[in-house]
């Protein structure tokens, strides 16, 4: 059976890291994006022929297109995309700063939208593909103090459900994954509290 080519964003921790480990152990090919390679050095050493680390900040839209184009040119196809990069932001809506609002929208919502838009033409041309969007049970329910996180998750789910109908005739499937509580760094690592972004050097977007 031919190995699939997987493109996964945010593989340095959490779901992205665990998915990457399992796929590589099964012999699949994974292009994984990170902003810091520290946590994936072991994977790079263990799977030098099937794991390809790429640096990407999903708020950089031209870089998303550049990455997708390069993967297609070097590996010939993209069979599965897992849009996983994102973070949480806790705080009352009125106390969030404009920059905090803009950044979580750019990361969780716009970044995911632009990644999906970039890969669809490739999958349509090759005649198949699967796009998996990591969302959250927070894309279906809402709690106080999580307004912007919910806004991004409800938004990306609406986008995916609509686009799924557009691409179905081209044998492109779309899946939304809505995890609940899980043993990842989300609550104590990647999720941020309003107005504390400076503690993370102004770059708080950590992958799930």
What is the sign, positive or negative, of the torsion defined by CA atoms of 132, 185, 58, 7?
negative
Please, what's the b/e burial string for 93-102 (b: 16 or more CB within 10 A of its CB; e: otherwise)?
eeebeeebbe
- Within 8 A by CB and 6+ apart from 146, the residues are 88, 89, 90, 138
* Residue 190 is among the residues annotated as catalytic for this protein: no
Among candidates 61, 52, 88, which has minimal Cα distance to 188? 88
What is the sign, positive or negative, of the torsion defined by CA atoms of 105, 108, 114, 117?
negative
Q: And the tokens for 156? A: 């990306």
* Residue 4 is among the residues annotated as catalytic for this protein: no
Active-site entry in 135, 188, 198, 200: 135
Active-site entry in 12, 21, 83, 153: 153
* Residue 149 is among the residues annotated as catalytic for this protein: yes
Residue 184's CB: how many other CB atoms inside 10 A?
A: 18
Active-site entry in 149, 190, 198, 200: 149
Catalytic residues: 135, 149, 153
């Amino acid at each position: 059976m031919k190995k699939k080519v997987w493109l996964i964003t945010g593989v340095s921790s959490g779901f992205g890291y665990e998915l990457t480990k399992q796929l590589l152990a099964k012999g699949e090919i994974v292009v994984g994006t990170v902003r810091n390679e520290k946590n994936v050095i072991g994977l790079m050493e263990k799977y030098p022929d099937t794991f390809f680390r790429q640096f990407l900040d999903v708020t950089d839209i031209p870089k998303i297109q550049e990455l997708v184009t390069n993967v297609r040119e070097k590996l010939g196809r993209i069979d599965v995309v897992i849009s996983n990069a994102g973070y949480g932001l806790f705080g009352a809506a009125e106390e969030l700063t404009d920059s905090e609002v803009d950044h979580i929208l750019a990361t969780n919502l716009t970044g995911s939208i632009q990644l999906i838009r970039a890969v669809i033409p490739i999958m349509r041309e090759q005649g198949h593909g699967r796009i998996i969007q990591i969302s959250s049970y927070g894309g279906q329910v809402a709690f106080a103090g999580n307004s912007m996180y919910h806004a991004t998750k409800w938004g990306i789910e609406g986008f995916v459900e609509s686009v799924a109908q557009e691409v179905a005739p081209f044998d492109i499937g779309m899946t939304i994954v809505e995890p609940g509580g899980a043993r990842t760094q989300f609550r104590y690592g990647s999720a941020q509290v309003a107005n504390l972004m400076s503690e993370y050097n102004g770059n708080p977007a950590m992958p799930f």
